[in-house]
């Protein structure tokens, strides 16, 4: 078994009396899509925040590429190559597609802000941003204002911003959210290919997408992982069917 790229070991997080993460252990291995599913309020976003550095766990550790990053913030983890996308869009709506991608790149590399305006015009960061746009199919929309993109294109741009990091792992919070059938199919194709560049921890409600993409699925209920397995194992799991699939 290869060393996991990203792992949570026994992480626990309470908000008052509520245990939003209850002794969660899971890992993300090279080349895989590991989906995390669970009902609303199960603790998926809380788990992501702890993996990516937005929230410190009360107990337990987070390891990334063999380093204990539990006490590191999001920027430090991003510089190590941990890229995330958000459930709610975090794009600058009044700026262009290429500006968003380049600024993501600037933030990720820790480039001093005084050279931002230069980076937006030319140079390696701009090149990297253009490559990321091409990767998600937005190369013809570089000059478009984000506000004028379709919802599906915005979700693709979020993936492009994450790609500018040249990540070693992705953490994605509901990339299919709000997408129609066509948008979901496009995003599914994109993620299918991306996993070979960097593994993806995928929190997603769209079960068609999860079943099409996931190598492994973990099921989170009330802050606990109640099962981890392949698509077939999870589909057949009685507790999962009862708790989540609505049997
Ligand atoms: P999910 O993403 O699976 O829908 P969340 O991680 O957002 O679940 O939330 C898990 C639980 O923790 C919910 O009951 C939610 O209300 C609670 N919670 C999340 N963040 C906070 C917070 N900052 N303060 C208090 N309660 C929170
Ligand atoms: Mg959530």
Question: Quick one: pLDDT band at residue 198, thresholds 50, 70, 90?
Answer: very high
Which residue minimizes the CA distance to atom 10 of ligand 1?
43
Q: 129 CA distance to ligand 2 centroid (A)?
A: 28
Pairing between β-strand 169-173 and β-strand 82-85 as defined by DSSP bridges: parallel
Task: Output phi, psi for 6, to 5 deg.
Answer: -135, 135
pLDDT at 114 over 70: no
Rg from Cα positions in the chain = 18
Q: Please list, in sequence order, all residues whose beta carbon lies within 8 angstroms of the beta carbon of residue 177, skipping any fewer than 6 positions away.
A: 87, 155, 205
Q: 246, exposed or middle or buried, with CB in 10 Å at 0-12, 13-18, 19+?
A: exposed
| Per-residue pLDDT at 31 | 95
Question: Quick one: pLDDT band at residue 18, thresholds 50, 70, 90?
Answer: very high
Record the pTM: 0.91
Query: What spatial distance separates the first Cα and last Cα of the chain, rounded to whole Å?
Result: 34
Q: 98 CA distance to ligand 1 centroid (A)?
A: 33
Edge-to-edge strands, sheet with 33-37: 82-85, 169-173, 200-203, 33-37, 216-221, 224-229
Domains in the chain (CATH in brackets) are 1-81+167-247 (3.40.50.300), 93-166 (no CATH)
Q: 42 CA distance to ligand 1 centroid (A)?
A: 8
pLDDT at 222 over 80: yes
For 131-175, how does the pLDDT look when each residue is reduced to its tens digit (9 = 90+)? 999 999 999 999 999 999 999 999 999 999 999 888 999 999 999
- Give the closest ligand to the alpha carbon of residue 43: 1
């Amino acid at each position: 078994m290869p060393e996991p790229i990203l792992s949570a070991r026994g992480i626990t997080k309470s908000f008052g009396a509520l245990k939003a993460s209850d002794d969660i252990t899971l890992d993300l291995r090279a080349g895989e899509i590991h989906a995390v599913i669970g009902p609303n309020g199960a603790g998926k976003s809380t788990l992501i925040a702890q993996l990516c550095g937005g929230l410190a766990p009360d107990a337990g550790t987070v390891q990334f590429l063999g380093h204990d990053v539990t006490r590191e913030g999001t920027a430090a983890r991003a510089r190590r190559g941990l890229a995330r996308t958000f459930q709610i869009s975090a794009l600058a709506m009044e700026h262009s597609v290429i500006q968003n991608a380049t600024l993501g790149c600037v933030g990720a590399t820790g480039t001093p802000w005084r050279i931002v305006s230069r980076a937006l015009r030319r140079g390696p960061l701009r090149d990297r941003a253009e490559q990321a746009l091409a990767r998600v199919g937005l190369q013809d929309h570089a000059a478009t204002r984000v506000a004028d993109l379709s919802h599906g294109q915005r979700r693709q741009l979020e993936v492009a911003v994450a790609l500018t990091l040249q990540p070693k792992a992705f953490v994605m919070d509901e990339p299919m959210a709000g997408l129609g059938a066509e948008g979901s199919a496009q995003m599914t194709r994109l993620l299918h290919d991306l996993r070979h560049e960097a593994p993806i921890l995928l929190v997603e409600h769209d079960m068609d997408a999860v079943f099409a993409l996931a190598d492994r699925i973990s099921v989170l209920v009330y802050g606990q992982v109640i099962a981890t397995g392949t698509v077939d194992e999870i589909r057949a799991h009685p507790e999962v069917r009862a708790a989540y699939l609505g049997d």
